[in-house]
Amino acid sequence: MLRERAGLTSTEAAQMLGTSSGQLSNVESARFGVSPDRVRAMANVYSCTNQHYIDALVDMAGEKTRGWWWDAYREVLPSGLLTLAELEHHATAIRTAFTSHIPGMLQTTEHAREIFSQAIPTPTPPEVEHRVSHRIKRQDVVFRENPNPYSTVIHEAALHMRVGGRRAAREQLKHLIDMSERDHITLRVLPFGVGAFPGSGQSINYLCGPVPELDTVQLDQFHGPVLLDAEAHLERYRRLLDVVEAAALSPEKSRDLIHAIAQNL
């Protein structure tokens, strides 16, 4: 965050910007939009001289003023899920690793509905449908024209789970095979035979921003998504993904394994 890199508290920054700390907090948490001119003013106050970084922020702010599809979910979903959709929308590439479930970007509607139905506390049917429709809409980033690269590693354990029953599980595996054949998608499976590996038990999304300063790591937690953008964290998860990707099967062998698992369900 620009303010934190400038070593300013929210109160100090708000005073320098002529606003309240509450309004600044709403901007920083993406609850409120901000104009491109305001972004440039903030960059000036924070003594940011990285023009590529500033230009990327200005472009994002200009797009935000026109409204985004996830704004429709602002009253019904946690802000963390809306921020995730925004990060995915702007990402120039996405790298992920999932050890216990199918990545949301590659889930079928039926699979997603079953997953959300099992949440604790038990959600109402409308709450389930809001989450399902939001997840499926997020998948636009892999279906849109000229999509950016999407790479994922899925542990074999996730492929054996019969979420929604055998028929639904087969459909999900078939969908993975179909998606893996798209040029911009790289899907690898981490087989049982690998044994211990770094990041075991974690689900990781590495979202490459329009500029490196906007890279973000998203981790799935029981209480919701956690976002990290400190360079030390980013470097750690880049290395972790490198190791996991190297340990996984090739895309071709991964497809063969998924097909074999589907046949045996």
Query: Is residue 87 scored above 80 in pLDDT?
Result: yes
Give the pTM. 0.88
pLDDT digits (tens, 9 = 90+) for 192-246: 999 887 777 789 999 999 999 999 999 988 777 899 999 999 999 999 999 999 9
Residue 159 token pair:
């492929």
**What are the extents of the domains in the chain?**
2-64, 78-264
User: Mean pLDDT throughout 92-112?
Assistant: 96
Nearest Cα to Cα of residue 59 among 90, 81, 29: 90
Termini Cα distance of the chain: 47
Interhelix angle 36-45/10-17, nearest 10 degrees: 120
pLDDT at 65: 60
pLDDT at 173: 99
Tell me, which fold does domain 2-64 have in CATH? 434 Repressor (Amino-terminal Domain) (1.10.260)
Q: Which CATH class is domain 78-264?
A: alpha beta
Nearest Cα to Cα of residue 221 among 112, 88, 80: 80
Residue 2 token pair:
């620009």
Query: Is residue 13 scored above 90 in pLDDT?
Result: no
Residue the block writes with tokens 């996830």: 70
Query: Is residue 39 scored above 90 in pLDDT?
Result: no
Nearest Cα to Cα of residue 98 among 177, 37, 167, 151: 151
- The string over 188-213, giving b where at least 16 C-beta atoms fall within 10 Å of a residue's C-beta and e elsewhere, is bbbbeeeeebebeebbbbbbbbbeeb
CA within 13 Å, CB half, 35: 3
